Amino acid sequence: MELFMSLAVGILFAVGVYLILSKSLLRIVLGTSLLTHGVHLLLLTMSRLKAGSAPLLGEGAERYTDPLPQALILTSIVISFGVTSLFFVLAYQTYKKLGTDDMEQLRGQEHE
Amino acid sequence: MNNLVVLPLLFPLCTAIILFFFKEKIRLQRAIAAAGMGATLLACGLLLTQVLRSGTQTLNMGGWMPPYGIVFVADPFAALLAAAATLVSSFCLLYAFGTVGKERERFYFYPFFHLLLAGVNGSFLTGDLFNLFVCFEVMLISSYALIVLGGTKIQLRETIKYVLVNIISSTLFVAAVAYLYGVAGTLNMADLSVKVAAAGQGGILNVIAVFFLVVFSLKAGLFLFFWLPGSYSAPPMAVAALFGALLTKVGLYALVRTFTLIFPNDPAITHAWIGWMAGATMVLGAAGAMAYRRVLSVLNYNIVISIGFIAFGLAVSNRSSLEGVVFYLLHDMAAKALLFLLAGLILQARGTDQAARLGGLIRSQPWIGWMFFTAALAIAGIPPLSGFGGKLLLVKGGLQGDSFVLTAISLASSLIVLYTLIRLFMDVFFGEPKEEPAAAAAAPMRGHVVLAGALCAIVVLMGFGSEWIYQAASAAAGTLSDPSKYIEAVLKEPV
């Protein structure tokens, strides 16, 4: 199972990086969101995948699932949700104001 | 257990929440923002005196004993930086009154300002690696808002890049945390320090260490600073001053924290990397500072140089260079904020910051001119101003640690800092005015000049009071160079 998860993480990262490297702003935003999905799966996988037992509640438990990664992922999902929506609005505003979504045309240092 | 530890985070957070309710009442917003800032400053000051008097203070959130749960730790280093950051941002806040414009004030400028401060103080005080990520995000998301607020073309263009770079580095941060959790099974920094030292820091742990190095270098602008000069020249001056003084310093703090506490065991790899990155940062920053004639660009590249300078102290990591790191961080926060405030006043007085179009400003604004001169000398490290003590300690540490090349580069970079700032001083303040002031220009308000004067006084006093600051910096470096003190304070059994 860990192997499949690792492959999924790898694919998400590859696709995310590919999209971020493209010129269109919309693809870049989608790329960052795929990248964060990959990282969340990575967090889940790194704590070993175990099924069939509850998170630790008492000290006498023999088998337990580590609850911490899920708390971390939840936090991270909330943050990435907020950031992605901000990024979308930003991209839209940029498109409206500057009339382009091509990163090549957003280069430069000059200040009007 | 000491509830005071969380107040520097809690006060700005609550202030921000209260401020959201008073969108249209600008005067009330200013009053609340100033009051919240005062309370935060008071909390930081109390915390600092307590930490310096009776050692590291901790707070276990929700009563969970470490290594479980989230712990807040105020060791001397964190408390000093939190106090300095709050002090500097209170000056930026006062400068923002009346300079950022009514529109920005109506659209939640002050709430974001306080949220940023909450994130900064939280990053300094947290003792949990994932919580550090969360505080970083609080800080970054508010900085996205502050940098784009106003929505001019240039702001939008630069914000897109800034946001993208930071999203990628945050993603890598989470990945690094995931790997570290997979290897060590904990995220409490003190516990990590114990576990990493016990496991012997080789192989996979070194890879993770370099991962963290890349992440924090992107945030701090250490070598990976390509995003910095553009982004920091987009927002209004009060925000640029805040960013220049605080944001990169938080990245540097994270670097210092991780590489003195968690990964100090294999300096031949990690610290050598930091050393070369610091050297390259200083050289490239110096090249950039010499290449530009715009006030803001020169200042931005001066930020880059000082990042390299501080990282050089971390690369050497002996006692006196760590003292230098702390001292120089404190000085640099105040002095960079002062320079940016003065640049803002120049911009107000003339409507442009192209050095080629300025000149002769000393006649109408002698105070601004001589304060700029003082700040330039302080940043270059001329005694008895505030930069000297830190530079002396860093150079001494570098020579003791036998890294002669880096020491030479850092001294040469100081010369270039002096050259670029004095050249700017000559261009802007002396000679004949090259053209009439722009239509938007107006003499800066006296209050703002007095404000810059107060900050300038702090910079000068930090120089004359070096002895006192040295004692505090020395206490901070004591905890940094001996992780067992930090670990003991966090993991001790409650009494």
Q: How many CB atoms lie within 10 A of CB B490?
A: 23
Are A86 and B141 an interchain contact pair (Cβ–Cβ within 8 Å)? yes
- The region that residue B221 occupies, defined by phi over 0 for left and psi between -120 and 50 for alpha, beta otherwise, is left
Does B360 map to a domain? yes
pLDDT (average), residues B84-99:
94
Tell me the three state secondary structure of residue A99: coil
Q: What average pLDDT does chain B have?
A: 92
What residues in A contact B161, CB-CB < 8 Å? Answer: 106
Strand partners, A102: A24
Q: In whole angstroms, what is the distance from residue B179 CA to residue B164 CA?
A: 23
Smallest CA-to-CA distance from B31 within B93, B84, B92 is with B93
Does B99 map to a domain? no
pLDDT for res B57: 92
Strand partners, B60: B71
Which position has the higher pLDDT, B260 or B443? B260
- The helix or strand, by DSSP H or E, that contains position B437, with its residue range, turns out to be none
pLDDT for res B35: 97
Task: Kindly list the distances between the CA atom of residue B268 and the CA atoms of B89, B201, B275, B290, B365, in Å, as whole numbers in the listed order.
Answer: 37, 11, 10, 33, 52
Q: How many CB atoms lie within 10 A of CB B432?
A: 7
Does B80 map to a domain? no
- The helix or strand, by DSSP H or E, that contains position A111, with its residue range, turns out to be none
Is 70 exceeded by the pLDDT of residue B335? Answer: yes
Q: In whole angstroms, what is the distance from residue B292 CA to residue B278 CA?
A: 21
pLDDT for res B440: 67
Smallest CA-to-CA distance from B111 within B39, B2, B30 is with B30
- Sorted by sequence, the CB contacts under 8 Å of residue B291 that are 6+ apart come out as none
The shortest CB-CB distance from B160 to any of A35, A39, A106 is to: A106
Is 80 exceeded by the pLDDT of residue B89? Answer: yes
Banded model confidence at residue A109, pLDDT cuts 50, 70, 90 = low
Smallest CA-to-CA distance from B78 within B261, B306, B321 is with B261
Strand partners, B71: B60
Banded model confidence at residue A110, pLDDT cuts 50, 70, 90 = low
pLDDT for res B324: 95
- The helix or strand, by DSSP H or E, that contains position B465, with its residue range, turns out to be none
Task: Give the chain A residue nearest B140 (alpha carbons).
Answer: A83
pLDDT for res A105: 85
Is 60 exceeded by the pLDDT of residue B413? Answer: yes
Taking only the tens place, the pLDDT of each residue in B264-287 is 988 889 999 999 999 999 999 999
pLDDT (average), residues B441-452:
86
Record the tokens describing residue B109, joined without a space.
């400028």
pLDDT (average), residues B408-430:
94
Q: In whole angstroms, what is the distance from residue A6 CA to residue A2 CA?
A: 6
CB B400 within 8 A of CB B380: no
Record the tokens describing residue B327, joined without a space.
């001292």
| Terminal Cα distance for chain B, rounded | 9
Which of A37, A111, A112 is best to mutate for the B interface (most B CBs within 10 A)? A111
pLDDT for res B313: 95
Strand partners, B74: B57
- The region that residue B282 occupies, defined by phi over 0 for left and psi between -120 and 50 for alpha, beta otherwise, is alpha
Smallest CA-to-CA distance from A99 within B163, B162, B156 is with B156
Distance in Å, alpha carbon of A36 to nearest chain B alpha carbon:
6
pLDDT for res B86: 97
Task: Kindly list the distances between the CA atom of residue B352 and the CA atoms of B257, B349, B375, B441, B443, in Å, as whole numbers in the listed order.
Answer: 40, 8, 21, 8, 13
Q: Does B354 touch chain A (CB under 8 A)?
A: no
Is 90 exceeded by the pLDDT of residue B212? Answer: yes
Does B101 map to a domain? no
Q: In whole angstroms, what is the distance from residue B440 CA to residue A20 CA?
A: 40
Is 60 exceeded by the pLDDT of residue A112? Answer: no
The shortest CB-CB distance from B160 to any of A46, A75, A90 is to: A90
Tell me the three state secondary structure of residue B282: helix
Taking only the tens place, the pLDDT of each residue in B22-75 is 988 999 999 999 999 999 999 999 999 999 999 899 999 888 888 888 999 999
B59 phi and psi, to 5 degrees? Answer: -140, 120
DSSP conformational letter for B234: S
Q: In whole angstroms, what is the distance from residue B170 CA to residue B152 CA?
A: 26
Q: In whole angstroms, what is the distance from residue B461 CA to residue B159 CA?
A: 36
Q: Considering only residues 147 to 166 of chain B, which have any Cβ-Cβ distance to chain A shorter than 8 Å? A: 148, 151, 153-154, 156-157, 159-161, 163-164
Does B422 map to a domain? yes
Q: Is the peptide bond before B384 cis (omega within 30 degrees of 0)?
A: yes
Q: How many CB atoms lie within 10 A of CB B107?
A: 14
Q: Does B412 touch chain A (CB under 8 A)?
A: no
Banded model confidence at residue A24, pLDDT cuts 50, 70, 90 = very high
Does B120 map to a domain? no
Pairing of strands B57-60, B71-74: antiparallel
Domain count, chain B: 1
Q: In whole angstroms, what is the distance from residue B181 CA to residue B188 CA?
A: 10
Taking only the tens place, the pLDDT of each residue in B391-406 is 999 999 999 999 999 9
Smallest CA-to-CA distance from B360 within B289, B452, B429 is with B429
CB B428 within 8 A of CB B359: yes
Does B341 map to a domain? yes
Q: What CA dihedral angle connects B226, B231, B237 and B242, to 10 degrees?
A: -70
pLDDT (average), residues A1-7:
90
Is 70 exceeded by the pLDDT of residue A93? Answer: yes
Q: In whole angstroms, what is the distance from residue B426 CA to residue B257 CA?
A: 40
Record the tokens describing residue B428, joined without a space.
């802007």
Q: In whole angstroms, what is the distance from residue B168 CA to residue A36 CA?
A: 9
- The helix or strand, by DSSP H or E, that contains position B131, with its residue range, turns out to be helix B129-148
Taking only the tens place, the pLDDT of each residue in B239-256 is 999 999 999 999 999 999
Are B174 and A76 an interchain contact pair (Cβ–Cβ within 8 Å)? yes
Record the tokens describing residue B71, joined without a space.
């712990």
Does B327 map to a domain? yes
- The region that residue B150 occupies, defined by phi over 0 for left and psi between -120 and 50 for alpha, beta otherwise, is left
pLDDT (average), residues B328-333:
95
B434 phi and psi, to 5 degrees? Answer: -85, -25
Q: How many CB atoms lie within 10 A of CB B161?
A: 17
Count chain A–chain B contacts defined by CB atoms under 8 A.
90
| Owning domain of residue B477 | 267-481
pLDDT for res A25: 93
Task: Kindly list the distances between the CA atom of residue B325 and the CA atoms of B118, B251, B279, B339, in Å, as whole numbers in the listed order.
Answer: 23, 13, 15, 20
Q: Is the peptide bond before B67 cis (omega within 30 degrees of 0)?
A: yes
Q: In whole angstroms, what is the distance from residue B145 CA to residue B242 CA?
A: 13
Percent of chain B with pLDDT over 70: 99
Q: In whole angstroms, what is the distance from residue B368 CA to residue B391 CA?
A: 26
Distance in Å, alpha carbon of A54 to nearest chain B alpha carbon:
18
Q: In whole angstroms, what is the distance from residue B126 CA to residue B113 CA?
A: 20
What residues in B contact A106, CB-CB < 8 Å? Answer: 157, 160-161
Are B137 and A79 an interchain contact pair (Cβ–Cβ within 8 Å)? yes
Q: In whole angstroms, what is the distance from residue A2 CA to residue B253 CA?
A: 35
Taking only the tens place, the pLDDT of each residue in A30-74 is 999 999 999 999 999 987 777 777 776 677 777 777 888 889 999
CB B393 within 8 A of CB B307: no
The shortest CB-CB distance from B144 to any of A28, A36, A86 is to: A86
pLDDT (average), residues B203-215:
94
Distance in Å, alpha carbon of B188 to nearest chain A alpha carbon:
12
Are B168 and A42 an interchain contact pair (Cβ–Cβ within 8 Å)? no
- Sorted by sequence, the CB contacts under 8 Å of residue B366 that are 6+ apart come out as none
